[in-house]
């Protein structure tokens, strides 16, 4: 559905951040399973954007969303392995 789009807005999950989240929470096995099943790793987001031949990719709905130690570059790093277009790490109230 995104083929040839100027902009693709896509959620993204940073696995090391998820693993850190799970370590902080007791009995988080089900949470981890849900997150892995329902969200997209950066490398896969990059593949999707490349396959769709979009011009710009906007990352949003970050998982985990509560870890300020994850830098913008970390969200985009895996995406860049497969997508050579423009990557924007979305922020609340950002206008594009």
Radius of gyration (C-alpha) of the chain in whole angstroms: 14
Please calculate the CA angle 41-46-62 and round it to the nearest 5 degrees.
45
Q: In which order are the strands placed within the sheet that holds 7-13?
A: 7-13, 56-63, 86-89
| 23 Cβ contact list (under 8 Å, min separation 6) | none
Tens of pLDDT along 23-81? 999 889 899 999 999 999 999 999 999 999 999 999 999 999 989 999 999 999 999 99
Residues facing residue 57 across a β-bridge: 8, 87
pTM score of the predicted model: 0.93
């Amino acid at each position: 559905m995104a083929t040839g789009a100027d902009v693709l807005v896509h959620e993204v999950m940073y696995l090391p951040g998820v693993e850190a989240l799970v370590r902080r929470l007791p009995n988080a096995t089900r949470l981890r399973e849900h997150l892995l099943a329902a969200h997209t790793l950066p490398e896969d987001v990059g593949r999707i954007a490349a396959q769709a031949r979009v011009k710009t990719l906007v990352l949003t709905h970050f998982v985990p969303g509560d870890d300020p130690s994850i830098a913008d570059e970390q969200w985009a790093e895996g995406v860049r392995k497969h997508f050579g277009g423009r990557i924007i790490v979305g922020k609340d109230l950002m206008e594009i």
